[in-house]
Structure 1
Amino acid sequence: MISPALAHIPTPLAPGRLPAHVPLAVQTRDGLVESVHHGSVIATAADGRTLLTAGQPLAPFYPRSALKPLQAVAMVRAGLDLPDELLALAAASHSGAAAHRYGALRILELHGLTPDDLENNTDLPYGVREREEWLSGGGQATQLAQNCSGKHAAMAATCVINGWPVLGYLDPAHPLQRLVARTVADLTGEEPERTSTDGCGTPLFALTLRGMARAFGRLASATGPASAEAAVASAMRRHPEMVAGEGRDVTALIRLVPGLLAKDGFEGVQLVGLPDGRAIAVKISDGGDRARMPVTVRVLAALDVDTSPLARIAAAPVLGGGRPAGLLQAADFLASLETSNAPNAR
């Protein structure tokens, strides 16, 4: 008999409703497998062709903050005109450093707004060092410190530019969010399977890895002064420290691979676009943040991108007593694909 205290717990999903993820990353300790991260991945060409897949890349998922560059494109299309460092911040999940907090405040002030106009939740800085410094100075959770404040400041600014109400700018029926929804559909080539709400309060769309890869390929390969996609991509490349922060792997990835565009998202999401239009989308099924980058670097190598500068983020040492005892690294999921696609494979 089920305890009354557990009666409110939903019935578990049937196995047939779970995405068919595969092992993508593995942690070993002294030669023994300690942990396995499953997930799905896709790499696409500029023309949309699939270059490689693993798992179930057509299963709907929530891209979370990987949507921010697409949301920024929508705002630029609607007339948002910011200096590059502030446009990069509009597409950021920032660490909450002073430059990030003051940048969000500057976006507001440029458009006659104040932090009271923000509708995101309050939080402490996301970065560990930034959070410790903030707390040591007596800081508390605020909307400016929250890692999506750049996006929210830009959204409020876009409302001012277009004469839309700032109050309620997160409502899916608001003109801003209707524009964002149309832009996301345009860039991904998909209509959302469903819509939810992200952690910071913005509408969140369920899409596929293929659709998100298509969008990042478009952003990364866009050119021309009239292109909103090119404006956002250029700003992110020029100011990767605003996209994430010092010590963050996404900032390092953009810096170390010329022309690359990258954005992460909560629950194990990583998107990458290359200047020739190829793109990579990764979803780690357990939401584990640590597995994103080893898998991404493995796929970049498979696409013949020089990953030698990425050794520090391609794998992570596992320590025992302060000394290396193992490794977190990508599983050999591409070799299994090659085997399954071989002419004599069964």
Structure 2
Amino acid sequence: MPSPAMPASPSFTAPAAAAPASAAVAQALPRHEPLAFQTRDGLVESIHYGSLIATAPDGSTLLSVGEPQAAFYPRSSLKPLQAVALVRAGLDIPADLLALTAASHSGAAEHRNGTTRILDMHGLTAAALENSADLPYGVAEREEWVREGGRATQITQNCSGKHAAMAATCVINGWPVRGYLDPSHPLQQLVRETVAELTGEQPSGISTDGCGTPLFALSLQGMARAFGRLAAAGLPDGASDGGTASAGPEAAVAHAMRRHPEMVAGVGRDVTELMRLMPGLLAKDGFEGIQAVGLPDGRAIVIKISDGGDRARMPVTVRALEALDVDTVPLAGIATGPVLGGGRPVGLLQAVDFLSSLPANDSVPANDAN
């Protein structure tokens, strides 16, 4: 159902009175557009700006809002691409552990045990991990961990599966485990080459992610190309769930994530729910309002919420899927968010209708995610 009309809002620009010291930064601000809004008793209370792109299997644009060519940091949505690099370098682990390699997990027992399994399989201990220490990311998981006297550790940090797999890949190749996060390390050089190949573009900048991993600045379109490629990669006949050697790297990672969505995030997490509700769909989120989705026919969607907030990410994702004629009826429960007043619904968080943004002469192929 189309959303109610939202008052027209201009694209975000820096205030005219910005201080001279920030003028260069202000000139580079992406021209994001409204993607979602919240109402309370008929009044627009909040607006979330951002950019998004939907791409065809060949990487061409099907839907574009805002400035999808602007450089951004994909944050944890980069993990499936990093996992592809590890598989290319010989990582061969069960599919549930490969899904954990691409995860921002909640820190449940299955996630912590999975990280330890990866280390044990390659003769490593938690001392090999170079990620930051943190409490479990999931609220329930964190509360349980703290009640039991747990503290912030590298195993409980939400990227520990990826780091265990990176250390394991170093063992497999005879590379030094210590220093595996250094951008000059052979592992990170391979990751960078793989990211450039899958996205079809060279990173425009490099930084460090929250866990310590090198982080590349890319465009939304580049990330969409990569997710379309991963999602469309098929497992060869006879490939099993027992390991990754019999499958191509892209297919192995996508298969693992779709088969074990609970390892990619966790109980109550929207990315896990999205993949469970839409079998065949590949999804990964990232901090600062990032969502990437790949469809098995090779189409893809990547979204950046400009304020870095998390609540608008899923409603915008569902609306973008609708714009591609994907049947989103199973996603009704995550397509909007209720706004409460005194414990009763008084408004709604919902996505802007971007159907009007589709190119007038382009047809979007009808398809669902199954």
TM-score range, shorter chain: over 0.9
Match for residue 313 of structure 1? 334
Q: Does 1:81 align with 2:92?
A: yes
Residue 5 (structure 1) aligns with:
none
Residue 12 (structure 1) shift: 6.0
Q: Per the alignment, in what secondary structure is the counterpart of residue 27 of structure 1? A: strand
Residue 121 in structure 1 maps to residue 132 in structure 2:
yes
Question: Which amino acid letter does the alignment assign opposite residue 218 of structure 1?
Answer: R
Deviations 1:263-295 (A, max 9, x none): 000000000000000000000000011111100
Please tell me whether the aligned partners of residues 177 and 203 of structure 1 are also in contact (alpha carbons under 8 angstroms): yes
Q: CA deviation at 1:258?
A: 1.7
Counterpart of 2:304 (choices 283, 290, 295) is 283
- Read off the aligned partner of 2:343 and give its amino acid letter: G
Q: Match of 1:192?
A: 203
Question: Are the structure 2 counterparts of residues 31 and 74 from structure 1 closer, same or farther at C-alpha, using a change threshold of 3 Å?
Answer: same
Q: 1:59 aligns with which of 59, 62, 70?
A: 70
Structure 1: give runs of 5+ residues left out of the alignment.
1-9
1:151-190 to structure 2, matched below 5 A, reads 151-190=162-201
TM-score (norm 2): 0.88
Q: Report what 1:273 is aligned to.
A: 294
Q: Structure 1 vs Structure 2: percent identity of aligned residues? A: 74
CA distance in 2 between counterparts of 1:277 and 1:244 reads 23
Please provide the CA RMSD for this pair.
1.4
> Structure 2 residue aligned with 1:301, among 312, 322, 334?
322
2:243: which partner in 1?
none
How far did 1:16 drift?
Answer: 2.4
Q: How far does residue 14 in structure 1 lie from its aligned partner after superposition?
A: 4.7
TM-score when normalising by structure 1: 0.94
Counterparts of 1:1-346 in structure 2 under 5 Å? 11=22, 14-223=25-234, 224=236, 225-335=246-356, 337-338=357-358, 341=360
- Assess if the C-alpha contact under 8 Å between 2:75 and 2:287 holds in 1: yes
Structure-2 separation of matches of 1:326 and 1:44: 32
SS of the counterpart of 1:116?
Answer: helix
Displacement of 1:207 after TM fit? 0.2
Q: 1: CA distance between counterparts of 2:316 and 2:221?
A: 16
SS in 2 for 1:332: coil
2: CA distance between counterparts of 1:13 and 1:323?
46
1:45, CA displacement in angstroms? 0.6
Q: In 1, Cα distance between the equivalents of 2:226 and 2:93? A: 22
For these two proteins, the number of residue pairs brought into alignment is 332
Secondary structure of residue in 2 paired with 1:255: helix
The letter of the residue matching 1:31 is G
Contact 2:54 2:62 in 1 (8 A): yes
* 3-state SS of 1:289 partner: coil
Match of 1:276, as an amino acid?
A: D
1:334 maps to a residue whose letter is: L
| CA apart distance, 1:333 | 3.0
Cα shift at 1:302: 1.1
Identify which range, 316-325 or 177-186, moves more after superposition.
Answer: 316-325
**Does the Cα contact within 8 Å between 2:323 and 2:354 map onto a contact in 1?**
no
Whole-angstrom distance in 2 between the partners of 1:12 and 1:109 = 52
| Segment drifting more, 168-177 vs 13-22 | 13-22
Runs of 4 or more off by more than 4 Å in structure 1? none
SS in structure 2 of the partner of residue 290 of structure 1: coil
Amino acid aligned to 2:271: V
